[in-house]
Amino acid sequence: MTIGILFVCTGNICRSPMAVGVLRSIVRRAGLEYVFDIDGAGIYDGHVGQPPSLLAVEAAARRGYDIRDLRSRPLMPEDIDRFANPLAMDRTHLVAMRSMAPQGLTDRPQMFLKFAPESLARDVVDPYGGTNEDYERALDLIEVGCAGLLKHLRQTLADTVRASSQVATLR
């Protein structure tokens, strides 16, 4: 069983690739990479096939995340079905995701920063076209959000295992 995580931003060249790189790195360090299917997509298809922006690649690399191999792709309705955790970087992405979600799955997309309540931010602001500092600020939030997401998912996995073992003992 794998747990699908999909990070969604505008063009899939800044925020979502940085989030993919961060989460892949922290689950690898935790020895859990086999548990997760982690990807990114964009609600705008104008960058399809392009690598992350140079400033995103550089900001990620400064913190030890290699995102050079990622390529932009558009969000598709079937992604919301495929990934148990489709996560929006900002509120405009959430609206777009919910409007394209298959029937019965409109509540599945969630805000990414719900996993970082201590940050008080609701959106990871788009750094595209900005400075190195804008990318660093976005990456700060992404790291906090990914740590909170992994903590949440670990608890969910533990609860699932506990429930499974309780069912097994009832047999």
- Which residues are tagged catalytic? 9, 15, 126
CA 4/CA 57 separation, integer angstroms: 23
Strand partners of residue 3: 36
CA 21/CA 4 separation, integer angstroms: 15
- What is the DSSP secondary-structure string of 41-72? EES--TTTTPPPPHHHHHHHHHTT---TT---
**Quick one: angle between helices 132-170 and 15-29, nearest 10?**
50
User: Which residues touch 44 (CB under 8 Å, ≥6 apart)?
Assistant: 10, 11, 74
With b for 16 or more beta-carbon neighbours within 10 A and e for fewer, the 94-129 pattern comes to bebbbebbeeeeeebbebbbebbeeeebebbebbbe
- Output the six-digit token pair for 54: 């140079």
